[in-house]
Amino acid sequence: MIASSGRGPMAVIVATAFFFFAGASAWADTTLNVGKASPTSDAIIPVNVGDELGIFKKHGLDLKIVEFGGGSKMAQALVAGAIDIGDGAGTEMAFVAKGAPMIAVCESTSTAPFLGIGLPWDSPIKSLADLKGKIIGVSSPGSFSDWSGHELSRKQGWGENGVTTVGIGNGAVTYLAAFRTHQVDAVIGNTAQFLAFEQTKDGRLLAPVSSYEGKVASGTLFASNQLIASNPAAVRAFLAAWMETVDYMRAHKAETVKLESKINQFNEDVMSREYDLTIGMFTKDCRFDPESLAALKRSFNDLKLVEGDVDMSKLYTDAYLPK
C-alpha cells in the first residue's frame, strides 16, 4: 500500500498550474536584437548596463546585443531586418528621411561629451583655435564625428574648409596608428579612449565636442517598422527599461563606473572621469528637443546626406514613450 502524501487532487492541480504558468512567464519574454553603432560610446552603453542589471529582463525583454563599427552599418542592419532596435546617433535619422523602414523613438542624449577631440601626447596644439587648417580623423564620411569636425569650423568662423576631415575608422589601434604616422593632426573619437591614452602618454584629450556644440540628439534610439507593426508593446517596454536604467546610472556612480569598466575594458579611474563628463547628457524623458532637431537638419544639409528640405517631424515619434 502506498502511503498518502497528504496532497489531494486539488493540491496537485494547483501545483501543476503554478509550474505551467511560471514556465509560460519565462517563455513569454520577448527577444529583441539590439544593434549598437559603437561598442564603447557612453551614449550607447546604457543598453549593456540595463542588461547586466536585469532591468530589461524585468520588463519582459531578452536582449541579444550586436556591435557595429559605425552608425551606417547599424542602420543597414535595421533595413535588412537583422536587428529590431538600433542604438546610435541622431545623424542616422537621415536614413529615415531616405525611406529606410525604421524610425527614431527616443532622443537618449542631447549633447555629446562622450565624443572628444584627441591629440598625440606631444602635439603642439593647445586649444581649439590651433586646429584651423588641420587634418582631423573621423570614423567615416557622413558620420556624427565627421559632422562634428565641420561644426567646429563653422562655430570658430573658419568657413566650410577651415579643417579637413578624413575617415580613419574607430578604436585605440586605429587612433594610435593615425597619430604615429602623422596621418592626422587630431582625431574626433571616444573621449574615454583619449583619457586612457593620457595614462600611457600616447595621447591626450583636447576637449569634448560638447564644448562647442549645443544640443544635437547625439544619442538616438531607433525601432524597425517591422517591430512597430508586429509588437509595439516591445518598443514601449524597451524605452521604459532604458529610462529606468539611466535613472539608476544617475543615482549610482560607483556601481555604474564598475559596470562600464567591465563592459568597455577601460579602467575605473578613466571611467570615473568619463562619468563626470557625460552623466548630464542623458535626457530624462526621451523626447526630441527642437534645438536638437534643428542641428540635425543642418547636419543633413552640411554633409549632403539628404536632398531638399526635410520635414523632421516625419523622422521620429514619441508614441511609444511612457505616459
pLDDT score of 29 more than 90: no
Looking at the domain assignment, is residue 320 inside a domain? no
Chain segment 43-90, per-residue pLDDT in tens: 999 999 999 999 999 999 999 999 987 888 999 999 999 999 999 999
CA 22, CA 193: separation in Å to the nearest integer? 44
User: pLDDT tens digit string along 195-226?
Assistant: 999 999 999 999 999 999 999 999 999 999 99
* 106 lies in the same domain as 152: no
Same domain? 106 vs 220: yes
If asked whether residues 54 and 127 sit together in one domain, one would say no
Provide mean pLDDT across the span 299-310: 87
Domain boundary among 211, 234, 265: 211
What is the arithmetic mean of pLDDT over 235-240? 98
Q: Do 96 and 123 fall into the same domain?
A: no
321 domain-assigned: no
- Whether the per-residue pLDDT at 318 is higher than 90: the answer is yes
The number of folded domains in the chain is 2
Contacts (Cβ under 8 Å, ≥6 apart) of 56: 47, 50, 62, 63, 238, 241, 245
pLDDT at 147: 87
The predicted structure's pLDDT at residue 28: 58
Q: Does residue 6 surpass a pLDDT of 70?
A: no
- Between the CA of residue 37 and those of 7, 44, 72, what are the distances in Å? 56, 8, 8
Question: 222 and 207 in one domain?
Answer: no
Residues 119 and 207 in one domain: yes
Domain boundary among 211, 233, 254: 211
In this predicted structure, the answer to whether residue 253 has a pLDDT above a threshold of 50 is: yes
103 and 46 within one domain: yes
Q: Which residues constitute the domain of residue 268?
A: 24-111+216-314
Of 162, 178, 211, which closes a domain? Answer: 211
Residues 300 and 156 in one domain: no
pLDDT reading at 292 higher than 70: yes
pLDDT at 11 exceeding the cut of 70: no
> What pLDDT is stored for residue 23 in this prediction?
38
Average pLDDT, the chain: 90
Residues 156 and 292 placed together within one structural domain of the fold: no
Least confident of 20-24, 92-96, 101-105, 239-243: 20-24
- Check whether residue 169 and residue 84 sit in a common domain: no
Helices (H), 222-264: 225-230, 232-251, 253-264
Q: Taking 50 as the threshold, does the pLDDT of residue 20 lie above it?
A: no
pLDDT over 90, % of the chain: 77
Tell me, yes or no, whether 272 and 200 share the same domain. no
CATH number at residue 263: 3.40.190.10
134-170 pLDDT, tens per residue?
999 998 887 888 889 999 999 999 998 899 999 998 8
Give Rg (Cα) of the chain.
Answer: 23
Q: Looking at the structure, do residues 187 and 235 belong to the same domain, yes or no?
A: no
- Residue 199 located in a structural domain: yes
Distance CA 323, CA 320 (A): 9
As a whole number, mean pLDDT of residues 1-29 equals 42
Element (H, E) at 106: strand 102-109
User: pLDDT digit string (tens) for 93-130?
Assistant: 999 999 999 999 999 999 999 999 999 999 999 999 99
